[in-house]
Amino acid sequence: MTDTLKDTLTVSGNIGGDGDWMLILAIVGTVATVLALALGIPLFIDWLKKRNELQEFRKELERKLNAIHKDMVFHMASLPELRKEVKQGLDAIGKYKILYRDGLPELKKKEKLTILRDGLQALDEYRHADAIARFSECLQLESDDSECCAMLNLIGISQMTKGDTHEAEQTFIEMIRIAEQADNKEALAKGFGNAGLVYQTLGDFQKALEYHLRALKIDEKMGNLEGQAQDLGNIGLVYKTLGEPHKALDHHEKALKINEDIGRLEGQANQLGNIGNVYQTLGQPHKALNHHEKTLKIDEKMSNLEGQANQLGNIGIVYKTLGEPQKALDHHEKALKIAKQIGNREVEANQLVNIGNVYQTLGQPRKALEYYQRALEMAKQIDNPQIEANALGNIGIVYEALGDPHKALGYLQKALEITKQIGNREVEANQSINIGVVYFDLGQVDKALEYLKCARKKYVKIGNKSNVELCNRIIALVEEAMGRE
């Protein structure tokens, strides 16, 4: 190596800068032309191979230098810097998740702090598998029960976001077990709250309600207002699913008030969105739209991609209700794009169903079917019975539109069976209407009336006046047809 080249490498600290290599390759290109003419094609081809080897060498050298740089950063980083990065990572996750963080930013070992920081960065970048691997590595290095609970909490959150719901269930059960043995009330409340979210996803809403109520009881005893707001909001979500929207609204409004009192913007966004969903259930789409648009603005301000995807989807649902399918489609496609970007398969599956619904409204049943089938496959993969039931029911509606009522009935009855197991009264009522319509088309009028009246009864209990009126109109048409017979 010449002295000039040595000096260049020493000063730049970076072998193979783009400018230097562009100059080298330009010179090499000129030499190539001369060699091709002077030495003939065979020797020129041999020279080209060596040139390619040189380029591969350059790439390998760059990889090694990057690895050395990363290792230097690790050794140069001070404990205060690492702790600051860990705290920032935990703060970012804690805005949207039920997080137990006791003692993590104050860890004393640099190795553990570095692994934790890398895990938090992976979770923030939606690299869920990498995050789980890093947090699991930290778990092997844990020093006490509190730290163990904190690591299990992070692993469980990552598993939930990735769609590994059963794995998350086991993780949070282990966290609860350790917290109970150690009499760690704060960790126990977080464990109960997260386990409740798992059971919501798995469709076991009574169990979810039990866990959220246990979390609320602990948070009230400790005077933890942020925890109380999270618990109240989650209880509201369960009540909405169980067909008690007024109870749901009461809990969401209490949660919103606490978040406003403590100045927690993320919590306010969550509850505004939840309230919007309740108003949609109550047949008040304009009120729902107002709340979802407020929530979307907050989520955009905070760069909360998951929140943005959810609210774009909710706004799409409202626009479909208001008879604006193109606007609905635009919002659902934006939501789907974000869901794919962040790797949230639950949100992705929901948006596939929503897009299918819009295509059905636009009179494109085969395109709708394509989206429903993709949603169904994904729902089975992530073990989400709610989305599975929605997809099955919508596939049934498509087959009815395509003139195959027997096939439609099979899908609709499967959807109703799952929905009954879950206990989602609103969706159960929806499926009952659809089954009633299919029975009417099959000429089984008594069966049709049975399902339609069952749906009306559920809508009355829920308080959805617009759907009660819809049931009344359909029942009147069926009874009129019976009279003609």
> What confidence tens digit (pLDDT) does each residue in 281-309 have?
999 999 999 999 999 999 999 999 999 99
Domain membership of residue 192 (yes or no) is no
Nearest to 219 by CA among 200, 196, 242, 248: 196
Return the pLDDT at 107: 73
What number is the average pLDDT over the span 85-90? 81
What number is the average pLDDT over the span 102-121? 83
Confidence check: pLDDT of 61 > 50: yes
> 48 Cβ partners below 8 Å, 6+ apart?
32
Domain membership of residue 416 (yes or no) is no
Return the pLDDT at 6: 34
Average pLDDT, the chain: 86
Nearest to 358 by CA among 379, 312, 327: 327
Nearest to 369 by CA among 361, 359, 382: 359
Return the pLDDT at 262: 96
The sign of the torsion formed by the CA atoms of 55, 61, 66, 67 equals: positive
Domain membership of residue 28 (yes or no) is yes
Nearest to 409 by CA among 421, 395, 419, 426: 395
Q: Give residue 297's Cα distance to chain centre.
A: 19
Domain membership of residue 17 (yes or no) is yes
The sign of the torsion formed by the CA atoms of 443, 447, 453, 458 equals: negative
Return the pLDDT at 9: 31
Domain membership of residue 49 (yes or no) is yes
**Which is higher by pLDDT, 400 or 84?**
400
Nearest to 369 by CA among 339, 349, 394: 394
Q: Between the CA of residue 166 and those of 127, 170, 190, 380, what are the distances in Å? A: 19, 7, 18, 13
Domain membership of residue 38 (yes or no) is yes
Check if the beta carbon of residue 373 is closer than 8 Å to that of residue 411. Answer: no
* Residues 399-411: tens digit of each pLDDT: 999 999 999 999 9
Least confident of 53-57, 337-341, 419-423: 53-57
Return the pLDDT at 68: 53
Residues 207 and 80: their CA atoms lie apart, in Å, by 42
Query: Identity (one letter) of the amino acid at 210?
Result: E
Instruction: Please give the residue range of the domain that contains residue 41.
Output: 3-76
**Which is higher by pLDDT, 161 or 336?**
336
Return the pLDDT at 327: 98
Confidence check: pLDDT of 15 > 70: no
Residues 263 and 77: their CA atoms lie apart, in Å, by 34
SS3 sequence, the chain? CCHHHHHHHHHHCCCCCHHHHHHHHHHHHHHHHHHHHHHCHHHHHHHHHHHHHHHHHHHHHHHHHHHHHHHHHHHHCCHHHHHHHHHHHHHHHHCCCCCCCCCHHHCCCHHHHHHHHHHHHHHHCCCHHHHHHHHHHHHHCCCCHHHHHHHHHHHHHHHHHHCCHHHHHHHHHHHHHHHHHHCCHHHHHHHHHHHHHHHHHCCCHHHHHHHHHHHHHHHHHHCCHHHHHHHHHHHHHHHHHCCCHHHHHHHHHHHHHHHHHHCCHHHHHHHHHHHHHHHHHCCCHHHHHHHHHHHHHHHHHCCCHHHHHHHHHHHHHHHHHCCCHHHHHHHHHHHHHHHHHHCCHHHHHHHHHHHHHHHHHCCCHHHHHHHHHHHHHHHHHHCCHHHHHHHHHHHHHHHHHCCCHHHHHHHHHHHHHHHHHHCCHHHHHHHHHHHHHHHHHCCCHHHHHHHHHHHHHHHHHHCCHHHHHHHHHHHHHHHHHHHHC
Domain membership of residue 278 (yes or no) is no
Return the pLDDT at 44: 52
Return the pLDDT at 347: 95
Domain membership of residue 244 (yes or no) is no
Return the pLDDT at 27: 47
Q: Tell me what percent of the residues of the chain surpass a pLDDT of 70.
A: 84
What number is the average pLDDT over the span 154-166? 91
Residues 248 and 475: their CA atoms lie apart, in Å, by 29
Band of pLDDT at residue 108, cut at 50, 70 and 90: confident
- CA 134, 137, 141 angle in degrees (round to 5)? 135
Check if the beta carbon of residue 279 is closer than 8 Å to that of residue 287. Answer: yes
Directed axis angle between helix 465-484 and helix 425-441, to 10°? 20
Tokens for 277, please give them: 């969903």
Confidence check: pLDDT of 124 > 60: yes
In 10 A of CB 10, how many CB atoms? Answer: 8
Q: Give residue 257's Cα distance to chain centre.
A: 26
Q: Give residue 28's Cα distance to chain centre.
A: 51
Band of pLDDT at residue 22, cut at 50, 70 and 90: very low
* Residues 235-247: tens digit of each pLDDT: 999 999 888 999 9
Return the pLDDT at 462: 82
Query: Identity (one letter) of the amino acid at 455?
Result: A
Return the pLDDT at 2: 41
What number is the average pLDDT over the span 384-407? 95
Confidence check: pLDDT of 71 > 80: no
* Domains contained in the chain, number: 1
Burial category of 76 from C-beta neighbours within 10 Å (exposed 0-12, middle 13-18, buried 19 and up): exposed
